[in-house]
Chain A
Amino acid sequence: MTMTSDGRAGDGRNRRRDAALGGSRAALRMRDGDSGSVMAENKNGAAGLPPAAAVAPLPEHLSRCLRAMYDDVLDEPVPDRFRQLLEELDRQQGAADAAD
Protein backbone atom coordinates (compact mmCIF):
# COMPACT_ATOMS: atom_id res chain seq x y z
CA MET A 1 0.00 0.00 0.00
CA THR A 2 2.80 2.41 0.80
CA MET A 3 4.03 1.83 -2.74
CA THR A 4 1.02 3.59 -4.10
CA SER A 5 0.93 6.57 -1.80
CA ASP A 6 3.11 8.80 -3.95
CA GLY A 7 1.37 7.84 -7.12
CA ARG A 8 -1.87 9.01 -5.66
CA ALA A 9 -0.76 12.28 -4.19
CA GLY A 10 -3.71 14.61 -4.09
CA ASP A 11 -6.10 11.71 -4.29
CA GLY A 12 -7.52 12.27 -0.89
CA ARG A 13 -8.06 15.92 -1.58
CA ASN A 14 -9.94 15.21 -4.76
CA ARG A 15 -12.05 12.59 -3.16
CA ARG A 16 -12.98 14.91 -0.36
CA ARG A 17 -13.91 17.47 -2.97
CA ASP A 18 -15.99 14.86 -4.74
CA ALA A 19 -17.66 13.96 -1.51
CA ALA A 20 -18.45 17.59 -0.88
CA LEU A 21 -19.95 17.84 -4.35
CA GLY A 22 -21.96 14.73 -3.65
CA GLY A 23 -24.26 16.79 -1.48
CA SER A 24 -27.33 18.74 -2.37
CA ARG A 25 -25.66 20.99 -4.92
CA ALA A 26 -24.49 17.97 -6.82
CA ALA A 27 -27.91 16.44 -6.64
CA LEU A 28 -29.40 19.58 -8.14
CA ARG A 29 -26.89 19.53 -10.98
CA MET A 30 -27.53 15.88 -11.56
CA ARG A 31 -31.23 16.55 -11.89
CA ASP A 32 -30.56 19.23 -14.47
CA GLY A 33 -28.26 17.04 -16.47
CA ASP A 34 -30.43 14.00 -16.23
CA SER A 35 -33.66 15.63 -17.21
CA GLY A 36 -33.88 13.35 -20.16
CA SER A 37 -32.31 11.70 -23.12
CA VAL A 38 -30.18 13.38 -25.73
CA MET A 39 -33.42 13.99 -27.60
CA ALA A 40 -34.89 15.90 -24.73
CA GLU A 41 -31.76 18.03 -24.37
CA ASN A 42 -31.94 18.91 -28.04
CA LYS A 43 -35.56 19.85 -27.73
CA ASN A 44 -34.85 22.12 -24.81
CA GLY A 45 -32.15 23.77 -26.86
CA ALA A 46 -28.60 24.52 -25.87
CA ALA A 47 -29.41 28.14 -25.08
CA GLY A 48 -31.19 27.30 -21.86
CA LEU A 49 -28.40 25.08 -20.58
CA PRO A 50 -25.39 26.35 -18.69
CA PRO A 51 -22.06 26.03 -20.51
CA ALA A 52 -20.14 22.80 -20.10
CA ALA A 53 -18.54 24.26 -16.97
CA ALA A 54 -20.95 22.44 -14.68
CA VAL A 55 -19.98 18.80 -14.61
CA ALA A 56 -22.39 16.67 -12.71
CA PRO A 57 -20.59 14.11 -10.56
CA LEU A 58 -21.28 10.44 -11.04
CA PRO A 59 -24.01 9.03 -8.87
CA GLU A 60 -22.36 7.85 -5.66
CA HIS A 61 -22.84 4.18 -6.41
CA LEU A 62 -21.20 4.42 -9.86
CA SER A 63 -18.45 6.54 -8.42
CA ARG A 64 -17.69 3.87 -5.85
CA CYS A 65 -17.64 1.15 -8.52
CA LEU A 66 -15.24 3.20 -10.62
CA ARG A 67 -12.84 3.78 -7.73
CA ALA A 68 -13.06 0.20 -6.49
CA MET A 69 -12.24 -1.08 -9.96
CA TYR A 70 -9.25 1.21 -10.23
CA ASP A 71 -8.08 0.54 -6.67
CA ASP A 72 -8.22 -3.23 -7.16
CA VAL A 73 -5.35 -2.93 -9.63
CA LEU A 74 -3.64 -0.12 -7.76
CA ASP A 75 -3.34 -2.27 -4.65
CA GLU A 76 -1.78 -5.22 -6.44
CA PRO A 77 1.97 -5.70 -5.83
CA VAL A 78 4.24 -4.59 -8.67
CA PRO A 79 4.87 -7.64 -10.89
CA ASP A 80 8.51 -8.74 -11.05
CA ARG A 81 8.65 -8.16 -14.79
CA PHE A 82 8.54 -4.39 -14.22
CA ARG A 83 11.27 -4.35 -11.57
CA GLN A 84 13.39 -6.45 -13.91
CA LEU A 85 12.59 -4.15 -16.82
CA LEU A 86 13.73 -1.07 -14.91
CA GLU A 87 16.90 -2.85 -13.78
CA GLU A 88 17.59 -3.92 -17.35
CA LEU A 89 17.03 -0.40 -18.71
CA ASP A 90 19.35 0.92 -16.03
CA ARG A 91 22.00 -1.67 -16.85
CA GLN A 92 21.83 -0.93 -20.59
CA GLN A 93 22.03 2.78 -19.89
CA GLY A 94 25.08 2.24 -17.69
CA ALA A 95 26.77 0.20 -20.43
CA ALA A 96 25.94 2.81 -23.07
CA ASP A 97 27.28 5.63 -20.89
CA ALA A 98 30.46 3.68 -20.21
CA ALA A 99 30.97 3.15 -23.95
CA ASP A 100 30.78 6.91 -24.65
Chain B
Amino acid sequence: MTSGTTHAVATAQDTIAFAEGLPGFETHREFVLMTSPALEPFACLRGLGPDAPSFLAIDPRRIVADYRCQLSEANQARLRASSGAPLVWLALVRPGDAGASVNLRAPVVINPETMRGLQVVDADDSYPLDLPIAGA
Protein backbone atom coordinates (compact mmCIF):
# COMPACT_ATOMS: atom_id res chain seq x y z
CA MET B 1 0.00 0.00 0.00
CA THR B 2 1.56 3.31 -1.04
CA SER B 3 0.70 6.57 0.63
CA GLY B 4 1.69 8.90 -2.17
CA THR B 5 -1.73 9.42 -3.73
CA THR B 6 -3.07 12.94 -3.59
CA HIS B 7 -6.66 11.99 -4.36
CA ALA B 8 -8.87 10.03 -2.08
CA VAL B 9 -9.34 6.56 -3.48
CA ALA B 10 -12.66 4.90 -2.93
CA THR B 11 -12.42 1.61 -1.13
CA ALA B 12 -14.99 -1.15 -1.04
CA GLN B 13 -16.05 0.24 2.31
CA ASP B 14 -17.07 3.53 0.70
CA THR B 15 -19.06 1.90 -2.06
CA ILE B 16 -22.80 2.37 -1.87
CA ALA B 17 -24.79 -0.41 -3.50
CA PHE B 18 -27.80 0.68 -5.56
CA ALA B 19 -29.41 -2.69 -6.25
CA GLU B 20 -31.53 -1.29 -9.07
CA GLY B 21 -29.23 1.44 -10.23
CA LEU B 22 -30.90 4.78 -10.85
CA PRO B 23 -33.72 5.24 -13.36
CA GLY B 24 -32.04 5.87 -16.69
CA PHE B 25 -28.81 4.32 -15.42
CA GLU B 26 -30.00 0.92 -14.28
CA THR B 27 -26.77 -0.91 -15.03
CA HIS B 28 -24.65 1.33 -12.79
CA ARG B 29 -25.06 -0.06 -9.31
CA GLU B 30 -22.06 1.18 -7.37
CA PHE B 31 -21.61 4.78 -6.31
CA VAL B 32 -19.50 6.74 -3.88
CA LEU B 33 -20.54 9.94 -2.18
CA MET B 34 -17.77 12.51 -2.31
CA THR B 35 -17.67 15.67 -0.27
CA SER B 36 -15.07 18.42 -0.31
CA PRO B 37 -14.75 22.06 0.74
CA ALA B 38 -15.00 23.03 -2.94
CA LEU B 39 -18.32 21.22 -3.27
CA GLU B 40 -19.80 22.27 0.06
CA PRO B 41 -22.76 22.34 0.73
CA PHE B 42 -23.20 20.05 -2.26
CA ALA B 43 -21.80 16.56 -2.65
CA CYS B 44 -20.93 14.45 -5.66
CA LEU B 45 -22.68 11.14 -6.13
CA ARG B 46 -20.21 9.44 -8.40
CA GLY B 47 -20.78 6.19 -10.22
CA LEU B 48 -17.98 3.65 -10.35
CA GLY B 49 -16.86 2.00 -13.55
CA PRO B 50 -16.65 3.07 -17.17
CA ASP B 51 -19.33 5.48 -18.42
CA ALA B 52 -20.87 5.71 -14.97
CA PRO B 53 -22.74 8.96 -14.33
CA SER B 54 -21.90 11.56 -11.70
CA PHE B 55 -24.36 13.90 -10.08
CA LEU B 56 -24.20 17.04 -8.02
CA ALA B 57 -26.48 16.47 -5.05
CA ILE B 58 -27.66 18.32 -1.99
CA ASP B 59 -29.66 17.77 1.18
CA PRO B 60 -33.20 18.69 0.07
CA ARG B 61 -33.67 20.65 3.32
CA ARG B 62 -31.13 23.13 1.98
CA ILE B 63 -33.64 23.85 -0.79
CA VAL B 64 -36.96 23.54 1.07
CA ALA B 65 -36.47 23.91 4.82
CA ASP B 66 -39.45 21.77 5.81
CA TYR B 67 -38.88 19.10 3.18
CA ARG B 68 -40.58 15.83 4.08
CA CYS B 69 -40.60 12.58 2.17
CA GLN B 70 -42.07 9.34 3.40
CA LEU B 71 -40.06 6.21 2.78
CA SER B 72 -42.31 3.26 1.98
CA GLU B 73 -41.93 0.03 3.89
CA ALA B 74 -40.66 -1.65 0.73
CA ASN B 75 -37.97 0.98 0.33
CA GLN B 76 -37.04 0.75 4.00
CA ALA B 77 -36.61 -2.99 3.51
CA ARG B 78 -34.46 -2.44 0.41
CA LEU B 79 -32.18 -0.17 2.41
CA ARG B 80 -32.22 -2.63 5.35
CA ALA B 81 -33.17 0.42 7.38
CA SER B 82 -34.38 -0.03 10.91
CA SER B 83 -37.02 2.51 11.84
CA GLY B 84 -35.48 5.65 13.26
CA ALA B 85 -32.04 4.94 11.81
CA PRO B 86 -30.51 8.06 10.30
CA LEU B 87 -30.57 8.08 6.52
CA VAL B 88 -28.85 10.40 4.06
CA TRP B 89 -31.26 12.21 1.74
CA LEU B 90 -30.02 13.82 -1.44
CA ALA B 91 -31.72 15.76 -4.20
CA LEU B 92 -30.01 15.54 -7.59
CA VAL B 93 -29.10 18.83 -9.23
CA ARG B 94 -29.66 19.39 -12.92
CA PRO B 95 -27.28 22.01 -14.28
CA GLY B 96 -28.66 24.67 -16.57
CA ASP B 97 -27.21 27.57 -18.54
CA ALA B 98 -27.93 30.20 -15.91
CA GLY B 99 -29.00 28.43 -12.76
CA ALA B 100 -29.98 24.87 -12.14
CA SER B 101 -32.92 22.83 -10.99
CA VAL B 102 -33.26 20.34 -8.21
CA ASN B 103 -35.18 17.08 -8.22
CA LEU B 104 -37.20 17.05 -5.00
CA ARG B 105 -39.71 14.55 -6.30
CA ALA B 106 -37.37 11.58 -6.54
CA PRO B 107 -34.70 11.90 -3.84
CA VAL B 108 -31.79 9.53 -3.47
CA VAL B 109 -31.71 7.88 -0.05
CA ILE B 110 -28.66 6.16 1.42
CA ASN B 111 -28.45 4.08 4.55
CA PRO B 112 -24.92 4.70 5.83
CA GLU B 113 -25.16 1.70 8.15
CA THR B 114 -25.70 -0.81 5.37
CA MET B 115 -24.22 1.29 2.53
CA ARG B 116 -27.29 0.65 0.42
CA GLY B 117 -28.97 3.31 -1.65
CA LEU B 118 -31.96 3.84 -3.88
CA GLN B 119 -33.85 6.58 -5.63
CA VAL B 120 -37.41 7.09 -4.44
CA VAL B 121 -39.66 6.69 -7.47
CA ASP B 122 -42.99 6.19 -5.75
CA ALA B 123 -43.25 9.40 -3.75
CA ASP B 124 -46.39 11.47 -4.18
CA ASP B 125 -46.12 14.43 -6.50
CA SER B 126 -46.15 17.17 -3.89
CA TYR B 127 -42.60 18.20 -4.83
CA PRO B 128 -41.40 19.04 -8.35
CA LEU B 129 -38.96 17.06 -10.46
CA ASP B 130 -37.21 20.25 -11.47
CA LEU B 131 -37.45 23.10 -9.01
CA PRO B 132 -35.37 25.98 -10.39
CA ILE B 133 -32.72 27.47 -8.13
CA ALA B 134 -30.88 30.63 -9.02
CA GLY B 135 -27.22 30.70 -9.85
CA ALA B 136 -24.88 33.44 -8.69
Instruction: Report if A and B associate in a common complex.
Output: no
- Residues of A in contact with B (beta carbons under 8 Å apart): none
